[in-house]
Amino acid sequence: MVKKYKVIYDRKLCIGAAACVESTPEGFEIDSDDGKANLINGKKIDHEVFEMILTEDQYSKFKDAEEVCPVNNCIKVIEIHE
């Protein structure tokens, strides 16, 4: 069975370190208004929380962003169980 993943981004926790933008520029960009990252094409699921379903190609790139982000649980890549 093919595994499926999604990224969950809690923007409240972001400190604007921009490591995610460097590692995964196709996924994150810095908002010029407040200096925090935006998840490009992310869907809002809660106050300042966004998610996006990942393709297999995107998985490792967003995993990199999760690893380089200095804030725990700010960027999370999780497996989806359907």
| Interface contacts to ligand SF4, rule CB under 6 A | 14-20, 28, 37, 69, 71, 74-75
Closer to ligand SF4 by CB, 15 or 80: give it. 15
Residue 38: strand pairing partners: 29
Query: DSSP code of 65?
Result: H
Distance CA 82, CA 78 (A): 13
- Closest approach, Cβ 77 to ligand SF4, in A, equals 13
Closer to ligand SF4 by CB, 37 or 77: give it. 37
Closer to ligand SF4 by CB, 15 or 45: give it. 15
| 72: Cβ contacts below 8 Å, ≥ 6 apart | none
